[in-house]
Amino acid sequence: MKRLYCMKLPEILCAAGLILSVAACSNDEAPAQPEAASASAQVAAAPAPTAPTNAMPDAGKLTSVATTATGIGPSPADAVDEAIKLAIKQVNGVTLDMSSEQFRSVLAVALGRDSAQLQAKAFSDHVAQQSNGVVTSFKITKMEEPFLKGSLSFITGGQFKATIEANIAKFDAPADTKKLKIVVGPIRFDAQSFKVAGAAVPSEKVASEIRQKILDALTNTGRFAVLDRELGGDIQSELDMISAGQAPAAELSKMRQSVSADLIWTAKIDAFSYQNKQGNWALSQRIINVATRQVQLSSVLQGNVSNPQADSQGADSAVQTLETGMVSSVVSAILMRTFPITVASRDGNNVVLSQGGQSVREGMRYQLVSMGAEIKDPQTGQSLGRTEYDCCEVVVDKVGPTMAQGRLENIRMPLEQIQPGGLQLRNLSVAKAADAPEKTATGTTGKKPVARKKEVDIFASDKSKW
């Protein structure tokens, strides 16, 4: 047996070494498997990319408001109906027409029921169902019978008193209604047609196109709530459907939500012509405060335009050129009066203006002023405005719907001392954007300054006599 054991020992040792080698290789490769599994798990766990969603336009929405109301009546049903009526008025205001078909079924929901029936849960569910969305939830918290000493019903002379808790539908107006509300009024004219590029263009067509473009431009600025005064008939038809019961009762909260204008803009076309590759236009405009009927802006705008291709392209091209220049000037004048354009942010000489759209034009140069202290009339105490100091010029490089980007040039004062919003845009600069040398924030130019002639003081010989 010893001999047999000795003979097999080398073989056993070789087998053991082989087993250890295989185990070592297995240990080296084993960690790679969890890592691969972990990577696969991470890929599987990663959320799938979702398609971008566009936000819905804010047209207002129907919400529910919790309220408590107390009604008094000769019977429990009358007291409950009065409480429901009061709850609806508390949430939506007294402007709702309670005599409409939609409200009649809501306000008579308690008719013919006694006190026990009114306080049952089945009646609460019935109110929410019968109101068709006006009352989303309802509960009677207290019912006081008449002639109970110490109660309000005793003082009211034998009347029932019902206290309810209810959730009432309410229409939340869109956020834009908080903006300055303006109506773009009609544009008047004297002539029946305008002569443009040898053609007679109807004045009514020109006035309608200009008005629509001004309405579009003011809407796109995002500064105004522009109100419509043309589709009154169509809008009233929709509201009549609600009041007649052809829409859910919750829609009743949309009734009488119309807003009135703060300002009305109106204008008259004084000139509109294009001949020999040159055009000119003139327009007198007014902005009127609706509440006081005060004229807040009255001015005459004029402009000259040039379109070398208008003669070959016909009258339509010339009309579009004239209308574009007119609309741009009108919108700029309105914005300057109501919302002056300011420098919203600055990074060195690169700036972002607070408005875009039709308020500024790409490639044009504008004056910028630094706003100083407010000055008041010593006699009336009325504000005369703020002092202005010439600061620099801005060349508009890019115009977006709500803001514009540009660069500062011809800087005349240290910009570090100016607070955010302290720079306001004024009129167009006479110089073209490519003509003026660029200046840095310290006021120095990148070009060699041109030598100036020595100024001669013609009064120098007389100073000793002063």
Asked if 365 contacts 431 with a C-beta cutoff of 8 angstroms, the reply is yes
Domain stop point among 123, 157, 172: 172
**pLDDT of 24:** 45
**pLDDT of 65:** 84
Q: Which domain holds residue 316?
A: 176-230+239-336
Please indicate whether residue 420 or residue 411 has the higher confidence score (pLDDT).
411
Over residues 89-93, mean pLDDT: 77
**pLDDT of 288:** 94
Residue 418 has pLDDT above 70, yes or no: yes
Together in a domain, 373 and 310: no
Residue 51: inside a domain: no
355 DSSP 8-state letter: -
Over residues 106-134, mean pLDDT: 63
The CATH number that applies at residue 222 is 3.40.50.10610
User: What percent of the chain has pLDDT above 90?
Assistant: 23
> Cα–Cα distance between 144 and 79 in angstroms, integer?
10
pLDDT digits (tens, 9 = 90+) for 154-181: 545 578 888 988 888 777 777 777 889 9
Domain stop point among 141, 172, 203: 172
Together in a domain, 321 and 411: no
Name the residue among 409, 406, 407 with its Cα closest to residue 439. 409
Together in a domain, 288 and 275: yes
Together in a domain, 188 and 168: no
Asked if 116 contacts 143 with a C-beta cutoff of 8 angstroms, the reply is no
**pLDDT of 449:** 42
Residue 32: inside a domain: no
Element (H, E) at 189: strand 180-189
pLDDT digits (tens, 9 = 90+) for 16-43: 454 444 444 444 444 444 444 444 444 4
Residue 183 has pLDDT above 50, yes or no: yes
Please indicate whether residue 11 or residue 190 has the higher confidence score (pLDDT).
190
Angle between helices 203-221 and 315-338 (to 10 degrees): 40
Residue 102: inside a domain: yes
In 3-state terms, what secondary structure has residue 234? Answer: helix
Instruction: Report how many domains make up the chain.
Output: 3
Domain stop point among 320, 336, 352: 336
> Cα–Cα distance between 422 and 347 in angstroms, integer?
15
Residue 8: inside a domain: no
Residue 225: inside a domain: yes
> Cα–Cα distance between 352 and 311 in angstroms, integer?
38
Together in a domain, 207 and 100: no
**pLDDT of 177:** 78
**pLDDT of 368:** 92
Element (H, E) at 116: helix 115-118
Asked if 231 contacts 238 with a C-beta cutoff of 8 angstroms, the reply is no
Which of these ranges, 329-338, 360-369, 448-457, has the smallest mean pLDDT?
448-457
Whole-model pTM: value is 0.60
DSSP letters for 16-47: HHHHHHHHHHHHHHTTHHHHHHHHHHHHHHSP
Q: Distance between the two ends of the chain, CA-based, in angstroms?
A: 143
Residue 454 has pLDDT above 50, yes or no: no
